[in-house]
Every structure is written in C-alpha cells, then in structure tokens.
Amino acid sequence: MKVIKRNGSEVEFDINKIIQAIKKANASVLNMEMTDEKIQEAAEFVAFKCERMNRAVSVEEIQDMVENQIMASGAFEVARNYVKYRYNRSLIRKSNTTDDKILNLIECNNEEVKQENSNKNPVVNSVHRDYMAGEVSRDLTNRILLPKEVVDAHREGIIHFHDSDYYAQHMHNCDLVNLEDMLQNGTVISETLIEKPHSFSTACNIATQIIAQVASNQYGGQSISLTHLAPFVQVSREKIRKEVIKEFAELGGTDESKIDKVVEDRLHLEIEKGVQTIQYQVVTLMTTNGQAPFLTVFLYLNEARDEREKHDLALIIEETLKQRYQGVKNEAGVWITPAFPKLIYVLEEDNIREGTKYFYLTQLAAKCSAKRLVPDYISEKKMKELKEGNCFPVMGCRSCLNPWKDENGNYKFYGRFNQGVVTINLVDVALSSGKDMDKFWKIFDERLDLCYEALMCRHERLKGTLSDAAPILWQNGAIARLKKGEKIDKLLYGGYSTISLGYAGLCECVRYMTGHSHTDPSATGFALDVMRYMNAACDRWYKETNIKFSIYGSPIESTTYKFAKCLQKRFGIIEGVTDKGYITNSYHVHVTEDIDAFTKLKFEAQFQSLSSGGAISYVEVPNMQDNLDAVISVIQFIYDNIMYAELNTKSDFCQKCGYDGEIQIVEEDGKLFWECPNCGNRDQDTMNVARRTCGYIGTQYWNQGRTQEIRERVLHL
C-alpha cells in the first residue's frame, strides 16, 4: 500500500510511523492516557481503514484517521497534543511549501503532478518550466489573488477553480481562431508581417504557425475550420494550371483533358503535403506550456460558400481522414494514434445516408474512428435545433459558444472565446444535505453563490487587459483587431465571450438523493431539475452583469480523483457514491452501468441540451475495425438524436515485444499499473497507450482515480 507524502512523492505504508507518532503524543501527557496495547490497536485500525480506501492515501488523510482513533479511545489530552503538534508543523511547512514542490517537480518525485495531465510528459525540461511557473502562480493565486473562501472551497473539493496555475497572468481559456481573417487579410507573427498566402501548402504552413502562437498565449484549447483553408485549393489549382500549360506548350501539346488530369494530380499532391504539414507540425510543436497545441480541426462541408469550394473542401477532408487513419510513427517507426489534432466531423444531409453525395467521407470517418478514436461527430440537424439554426465548432474539446450577432445582425462565431471555468461538485452538495431535499436546494444556492464569486474573479482578472499582452490574439486577428494599448474589455460583455459554470458528479448526486441512478425514470426528473436550476442561476447572473454565463459539462481529468478523495475524507465511504477513486464527469451515465449505446446517447441528449456551454457524450466500443456497418449505425443514430458524441475504443502498442493490442490495467498493493499482457512490460516510456480521457485523447497516462475509471468502463456495443 502506498502513501502520498506532502511533496507528492509516494512511499510504502509503514504502521510503525503511526505507532511512534501516537507514542510521542502520549508521552507528552503527564499521566500517559494510552497503553501500548491501545496504541497498537489504534494504529492497526488506521491501517485497516487505509486498506479499505483501495488507493494510495495521503499523509493528511492518515493523520485525520489517527486523530479520530485517539479521540475514540478516550485519550482526549493525547488527541489535543497531537492536534497541536500537527498545527505547529503546518506553520513551519507554510514557509517553504512552494520551494519543496518546485524541487520535487524538477527531480520528478511528485507522483500526482506526473499524472496530472495526460498530454504532458513530466520529465522534460519544457514541462518542468511550465509546472514551476504554475506552482508560483498557484501560490500567488492562493495567498493573494483569490478570496479566502474561494481558496478554501477549492482545497476542500467543494468547487474546482480551474487552471489556477495560469491565473496570475491575464490569460483566457479557449477560443475559435478566426483563421479566415488571418489568412485572407494577413497577420503579424513575432513582429513579422505575414501576407495572404499564394498556395494551399503555404496557407497550411502559416496556419500551423498561428496555432503555435495562439497556444502559447492562452491555457485552453483552440479550434480551426478546414473551410478557411479551402479557398487556397483554387489558388493552387490556378497557379499549377499556368505552370502545366506552359510545360505543355514547350512540348508542343494543348490537350485540355490531359492538362486537367496533370493539374488535378499535382493539386492532390499539394493537398497531401499541406495536410501532412498540419498533422506533423501540430504533433511535434512544443508550445510554452510544455505540450503540443491543444487543437481541434472542424470538418464541415456545408460551411463552404459555393459548390466549387465544397468540392475542394471535400478533397481536404478526405486527405485529413486518410492521414489520420494512417497515424504517425513513434520513435520505433511503428504507426500509432496521435493525441492531436482532435477532429470533429459534421454529419449533414448530403453525407449521412448511403447514396448521398458525400457518404464516402462518412464511411472513411467511421473507418478512422474505429482505429484512431477520431473524428468525433456533430449533428448539424441537432445543433441547429439548439443554436438558433447555426452549426459551428466547439472550442478545443467541448466548450461551446452561445449564438451572438454583430451590429449588422449577422451571426459571428470565429474570433470569440471563453473567459474561464469554475466547477461545482454536485456530489458534495448532496452529501452535505444529508438527503434533506429542502436543505439540498439551500446548500445548492450557497454553493452557486460561491461559484459566482469565483467566476467573477476570473472575469475581473481579464478586465483591463491590454491588447499588447497577446498581439496574436487581440491585435492580429486570431480573436480581434484591436489597437495597440487598447483594452479588451468590450469583448468580455454582451455575450461576445462566455464564462462557464462547470458541474461534475450529477450521477452520484442523484443516486445519493433518490437512491437510484439518474437513468431510472423515477430519478431522471430530479437530475433535470438540478440542470435547470444551474441554468436559471446563469440566466440571472447574465441579466445582472451583461456577462454570458453558461453551463459546462466539465472535462475533469485530474479533478475527478481530487473530488473523490475530498468526498471520502469529508463523508467516508458510501456505496455507489464515494466508493470509487473518481466521480462521474458532468451528466454522464456511470461508466459501470449496463446500458446499450443507443439508449445511452438518447438519454444523455436531454442533458446536452441543458449544457449550452459545452458537453460531449461517448459510447465505449470494442475493436470495430471489422464491423464498420455497426459504426455507421451509431453515427447515423448520433445524427438523428444528439448534438455531439464520440466512439471510444483502444489503440495501444508495446515497444518491447511489438504487441499491437489492448494494454491492460493491473492492480498491485492497492496501486494500478499499465501492463502489456504479452510480455508483462510496465515501463510507460516503452508503451504507446491512447485512451479517451474526458472528450480528448490522452497519451501520457493518468492519475490513479482516472485509471480506475478507465479500467471499469463497460462496453456499450
């Protein structure tokens, strides 16, 4: 059994340390209240409770248990001295906590940080640098920048104040990059003017430079649309045609059909080259936050302005899917599944059924999903129902804008952004109420007020920011074309940008309050009421502030583990509620619940419609590469029933033995490990594992809570 020290490193559990700690406290009392037998009994009971946690236990959790056991034995003076000793030690630690954390980051001793982000490699210098800066920012945030009640609620797992490691800077979360404006009208990168490109391949190259610059000036994801690259296919076609005509003329030929064929062949090669540039640049670029750009690419045929552009866009989409299906080579030269860019393929009337013009693209998308986990799917039909007749990309993973019109009454989505997120722990609200429904709504109000205070801190941190802080975003077109020295404030109001109230653990919240899963018809109504209650709060805040608050199905990666530990500490182990090392993301059906893919998607659709700030649903499937008809059936069901969904499968490789199959999760001494079933390899540096984490693909492994959640997922097909 492992114990997590305060610096994040792991050590073996040692009962003797507990015995010695109690003996010291006991010796400090004049007439020593505890016998050696009582001390041994208390220590053994603490060890038993730690074993029941079925995960690594923190030093703080163990000390809480020790304190409770001393009290239970009636040794109140001993308990008082033990508490006093803990308090004095905490005061000493406060003076150098940040120093210790940074030193342990550099030496790679902090297990929690190592597993914090499934797309960051914690052993490389660039990630060290980002994490070190993050610790300093987090320290400033907690000591100076945030109100004490927000810091305390975050620490106790009542809420989660996202990305506090970036809060000290004036940075926002995620956005839809206005690539069209930047390519068509030019931009500036690192004080260098970049003019409108004269070919498709050049446009792709410039796009990757923009992506890298944007990623280095914010902390969340970004999305671009392939539609914005499509006009440059025709630019290249015309350029190539001039060259080919000249070549034919020099050879004494003028055969138009042959010219057309040569032009299109060369054009296809240029498209292949351009798409490859995006694919490989995004995978290999390292931004200032120590990871590849968190990029989503939008594949939407009906976004094209005319039929010719739509045809050219189809060529780009086809090449993008083909290259993603192939994958990228790892250092051993084996084709594997990359984490980025994330792809979103829009399902529409002319690509969803057999016989429609672009159905071949959907077939290719299905083949790609079955092997490489992407693309994900947006239903044009369902999105238009929910977004005032519009279909547009989400920002990064799932954060979704609300419809907004400019002064001319035109809808605008590109160049807009999200200010930040604070997530409420719904499970804690429920458990704090003790199943008293009146008390539940009262506590819910208090927690929502706390979230509002925290969200307004995010807003105020951005307010007054000068455009000079990130020229690529605010001055050179990615988001806006503000003047130098101009404040970004006007972009924070009126719904132009959003700010998100995230939520987690609806499933466990409902199960505790009603005794049933939220999929049970007797409990679904309560679950929907909880969602409506949060929406009503956001609407009220919008009216009061003119800031667009929206409900967000939080993709809590490491926080799912943190929330679970906090709940266990505050409320103990409650079957079906706090007995896991994780809590369920947003509104999702619990990963262990037996439910088929179609029922799950249909059920979760009603919660997506109430998560206007972003949400995604998934179905867990086995290897479907030999059953693409079933994949197509799921995709067609998505089109008719839910706005945004994805298929989860496995895509792994063991570099030691060449095993190309599912890497298993095994348990040893209460800790979970990834292990090759063929050779027993557990060295994560010699395995390629790709898993959907919470809407996006992770490839750098996960904390113990998320790993348990991945292991316990049941198949829906």
Task: Fill in the amino acid letter for 61.
Answer: E
Q: Active site residue: 73, 142, 173, 467, which one? A: 173
Q: Active site residue: 53, 395, 534, 624, which one? A: 395
Q: Active site residue: 157, 221, 415, 695, which one? A: 695
Phi, psi dihedral angles at 312 (to 5 degrees): -65, -40
d(CA 369, CA 376): 8
d(CA 65, CA 45): 9
Q: Active site residue: 142, 164, 201, 399, which one? A: 399
d(CA 404, CA 497): 9
Closest CA to 416 of 429, 400, 432: 400
Q: Active site residue: 178, 418, 476, 585, which one? A: 418
Q: Active site residue: 174, 391, 566, 694, which one? A: 174
Task: Fill in the amino acid letter for 707.
Answer: T
Tell me if residue 391 is catalytic: no
Tell me if residue 174 is catalytic: yes
d(CA 319, CA 312): 11
Q: Active site residue: 182, 368, 397, 534, which one? A: 397
Q: Active site residue: 552, 561, 618, 639, which one? A: 552
Contact predicate 319/275, CB 8 Å: yes
Closest CA to 166 of 421, 394, 477: 421
In this structure, the strands spanning 376-379 and 671-675 are unpaired
Cβ atoms < 10 Å from Cβ of 449: 11
- String of DSSP letters for 466-488: BGGG-HHHHTSSSS--PPTT-BS
Contact predicate 290/126, CB 8 Å: yes
- Determine the straight-line distance between the first and last CA of the chain, rounded to whole angstroms: 36
Adjacent-strand bridge partners of 645: 377, 617
Tell me if residue 566 is catalytic: no
The two structure tokens encoding residue 566: 């906090």
Tell me if residue 667 is catalytic: no
d(CA 393, CA 299): 9
d(CA 293, CA 526): 39
The two structure tokens encoding residue 205: 């190259």
Give the DSSP H/E element, type plus range, for residue 710. helix 704-711
Tell me if residue 399 is catalytic: yes
DSSP letter at 405 equals B
Residues comprising the chain, all counted: 717
Contact predicate 214/282, CB 8 Å: no
d(CA 576, CA 590): 10
Please tell me whether residue 288 adopts helix, strand or coil conformation: coil
The structure tokens 């630019």 sit at 235
Instruction: Please name the residue ranges forming H helices in 616-659.
Output: 628-641
- Provide the CB-side half-sphere exposure for 278 (13 A, CA): 33
Closest CA to 165 of 110, 230, 117, 236: 117
Tell me if residue 173 is catalytic: yes
Measure the CA angle with vertex 647, ends 642 and 648; round to 5°: 140
Tell me if residue 216 is catalytic: no
Tell me if residue 451 is catalytic: no
- CA diameter of the chain: 112
Tell me if residue 695 is catalytic: yes
Q: Active site residue: 319, 348, 557, 709, which one? A: 557
Which residues carry out catalysis?
Answer: 173-174, 395, 397, 399, 418, 552, 557, 695
